[in-house]
């Protein structure tokens, strides 16, 4: 160095590492492009990208591979299919063939009328230390409990009997049966029963009970609100207690998922009238409160005028003491 200082001392004065100093020294006199994007010879030019987009606009129904070779044959631009794909993709002009939004995780299309979907599931209840099977059928639209039974066993034939008794209560319906993948529901005889009955059967995703969440929620409500708070003394006592809760659930208890209406009212189609009556009552109450406030405000000025016309005794004495 011309200053006759050692590099080691100079680097110490600068307060940088030796590797950084020698890297700077090696790049001295060169353009500072070490972190910049280095253009490649095979990169497409802007006019080529514009030609690809323009040709696509003239042939919008053709795929990007067919467009590539059409442009080659017509001497428009010579590029590879992958380059055409990247240009069209960055321009937002590519569409996947037959692409449809995924319905995974969205559940079933919700029924619009009663008896379109019947959810069925098997749960267990503990009665005096013995576990029994509880099978319930719930209407997907109204949340009405169509039928339920407690049994010591729950074979495929017994599930058929439970569904048939539900159908006897509503003989003119042919609902879609929604169940999990229990052994009773995947049996060959059960499939034949569904076919003969003129119904359809849909099984939910394995190990995903949320798929059949309506009936799962019913069993949870039954256990937390009916079974666990009390003591079931016998099988007959359990049937009696659960029957009373089912009546309460269907006819009295307001269900939050259907607008705080009873399942029976929803099943019978009285939900719209109930909601209309509620809105009418609220509107009448608002109108009554508004009229009452107006009456109160209209009375206030009159009272003030009366008070001004009749001053208090103290005020009268003060007025009399004033000089004429």
Domain positions in the chain are 46-90, 117-232
- Given this model, what pLDDT does residue 25 score? 83
Sign of CA dihedral 252, 255, 261, 267: negative
Q: What is the model's pLDDT at position 9?
A: 81
In this predicted structure, the answer to whether residue 140 has a pLDDT above a threshold of 90 is yes
> Which has the minimum average pLDDT: 29-38, 159-168, 222-231, 251-260?
29-38
Highest mean pLDDT among 26-40, 153-167, 287-301: 153-167
Q: What is the pLDDT of residue 97?
A: 60
Greatest distance between any 2 Cα atoms in the chain = 117
Query: Of the ranges 209-223, 238-252, 293-307, which one carries the lowest mean pLDDT score?
Result: 293-307
Q: What pLDDT score was predicted for residue 222? A: 94
* Predicted confidence (pLDDT) at residue 204 exceeds the cutoff of 70: yes
What average pLDDT does this structure show over 112-140? 94
90 token code pair: 């960055």
Mean pLDDT of 126-151: 94
> 272 or 312: which carries more pLDDT confidence?
272
* Nearest one of 99, 69, 97 to 83, comparing CA atoms: 69
Helical residues (DSSP H) of the chain, grouped into ranges: 7-14, 18-27, 46-58, 64-73, 81-90, 156-169, 188-197, 213-222, 235-251, 263-267, 271-309, 313-321
CB 124 within 8 A of CB 134: yes
User: How much is the average pLDDT of 157-161?
Assistant: 95
DSSP state of 91: T
Highest mean pLDDT among 108-112, 264-268, 297-301: 264-268
3-state secondary structure 218-254: HHHHHHHHHHCCCCCCCHHHHHHHHHHHHHHHHHCCC
Q: CA-CA distance, 65 to 68, in Å (whole number)? A: 5
pLDDT at 311 over 80: no
pLDDT computed for residue 11 by the predictor:
82
Instruction: Please say whether the beta carbons of 235 and 132 come within 8 A.
Output: yes
Asked if residues 184 and 208 have their Cβ atoms less than 8 Å apart, the reply is: no
| Bridge-based pairing state of the strands 145-151 and 130-139 | antiparallel
Instruction: Decide: 91 and 53 in contact? Cβ < 8 Å.
Output: yes
Residue 173 has pLDDT above 70, yes or no: yes
Place 281 in a pLDDT band, splitting at 50, 70 and 90: very high
| Type and span of the H or E element at 17 | none
Q: What are the residues whose beta carbons fall under 8 Å from the beta carbon of 50, sequence distance 6 or more? A: none
Angle at 133 between CA 107 and CA 135, to 5 degrees: 40
**Average pLDDT for 63-92:** 90
pLDDT attached to residue 316: 52
pLDDT at position 268 is 93
**Hey, which CATH number is domain 117-232, 1.10.260.40, 3.30.420.10, 3.30.70.2740, 3.40.50.1980?**
3.30.420.10
**Residue indicated by tokens 């095979």:** 42
- Model confidence at 18, in pLDDT bands (50, 70, 90)? confident
| Cα 219 to Cα 135: distance, rounded to the nearest angstrom | 9
Q: Is the pLDDT of residue 95 over 90?
A: no
Mean pLDDT of 117-127: 94
């Amino acid at each position: 160095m011309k200053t006759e200082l050692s590099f080691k001392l100079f680097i110490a004065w600068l307060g940088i590492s030796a590797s950084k100093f020698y890297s700077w020294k090696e790049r001295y006199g060169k353009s500072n492009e070490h972190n910049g994007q280095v253009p490649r010879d095979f990169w497409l030019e802007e006019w080529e990208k514009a030609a690809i987009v323009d040709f696509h606009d003239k042939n919008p129904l053709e795929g990007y591979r067919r467009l590539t070779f059409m442009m080659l044959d017509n001497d428009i631009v010579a590029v590879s299919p992958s380059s055409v794909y990247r240009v069209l993709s960055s321009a937002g002009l590519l569409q996947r063939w037959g692409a449809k939004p995924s319905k995974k995780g969205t559940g079933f299309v919700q029924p619009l009328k009663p008896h379109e979907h019947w959810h069925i599931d098997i749960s267990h209840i503990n009665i005096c230390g013995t576990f029994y099977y509880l099978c319930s059928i719930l209407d997907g639209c109204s949340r009405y409990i169509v039928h339920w039974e407690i049994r010591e066993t729950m074979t495929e034939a017994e599930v058929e009997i439970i569904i048939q008794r539900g159908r006897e209560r509503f003989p003119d319906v042919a609902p879609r049966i929604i169940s999990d993948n229990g052994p009773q529901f995947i049996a060959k005889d059960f499939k034949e029963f569904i076919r003969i009955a003129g119904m359809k059967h849909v099984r939910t995703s394995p190990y995903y009970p949320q798929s059949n969440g309506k009936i799962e929620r019913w069993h949870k409500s039954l256990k937390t609100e009916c079974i666990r708070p009390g003591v079931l003394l016998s099988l007959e006592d359990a049937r009696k207690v659960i029957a009373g809760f089912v009546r309460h659930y269907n006819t009295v208890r307001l269900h939050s998922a259907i607008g705080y209406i009873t399942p029976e009212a929803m099943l019978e189609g009285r939900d719209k009238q109930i909601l209309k009556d509620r809105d009418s009552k609220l509107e009448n109450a608002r109108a009554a409160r508004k009229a009452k406030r107006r009456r109160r405000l209209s009375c206030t000025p009159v009272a003030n005028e009366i008070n001004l016309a009749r001053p208090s005794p103290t005020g009268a004495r003060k007025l009399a003491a004033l000089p004429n």
